[in-house]
Amino acid sequence: MAGGAGRMRRAVFAGSFDPVTTGHIDIIERAASMFDELIVCIFHNIQKEGCLPLDDRVRFLREATVHISNVRVDVFSGLLTDYMKQQKARVVVRGLRSVKDFEYEENHASMVHHLMPESDTIFLLTRPDLTFVSSSGVRELIRFHGPVKGIVPTSVERAILELYKRS
């Protein structure tokens, strides 16, 4: 076990995953190799309607990570640090595509550390061939019935194609 004498190393990778992308899956696969358990947590904002229903996002994440034995998908509404304490996790994993992402994520990491001084944040750079992939970009493609092949997991692509047929 990583982390020494019987202590499980658990990390949280949090986001809206609306929808999950191949960029997210890349970060999840790489982060999972660093920890005993990686919790991929959909933070649900009850005041914000997602593009995809929450149940679908959970299902898509579970399907896309089924090949990674130490990944658990969960949902939470509230402060990330409250969730981390509840799960006995001390590490947050964040993916970075650009300097712009870093500026935002650095502030977020500082706030998490302020609220939970024993926590740490690990930044993983997105693979260069995936830096253009974002959930907001995928949502725009969905809005205009654009192609999503290769930028979302297969199960998400199938669901999006079904949406296209209905609208």
* CA distance to 108, 117, 152, per residue, from 89 (Å): 17, 13, 28
Q: Of residues 16, 119, 135, 155, which has the active-site annotation?
A: 135
Q: Of residues 72, 85, 90, 97, which has the active-site annotation?
A: 97
Catalytic residue check, 145? no
Q: Of residues 10, 16, 24, 94, which has the active-site annotation?
A: 24
Catalytic residue check, 97? yes
Closest CA to 112 of 162, 43, 26, 53: 43
Instruction: For residue 138, give the H/E element and its range.
Output: helix 135-143
Region of residue 5 (phi > 0: left; psi between -120 and 50: alpha; otherwise: beta): beta
* Encoded amino acid at 143, one letter: R
Angle between helices 154-166 and 54-65 in degrees, nearest 10: 150
Q: What is the dihedral of CA 68, 106, 19, 66, to 10 degrees?
A: 10
State how far the Cα of 81 lies from the Cα of 77, in Å rounded to an integer: 11
Residues acting as catalytic residues: 24, 48, 97, 135
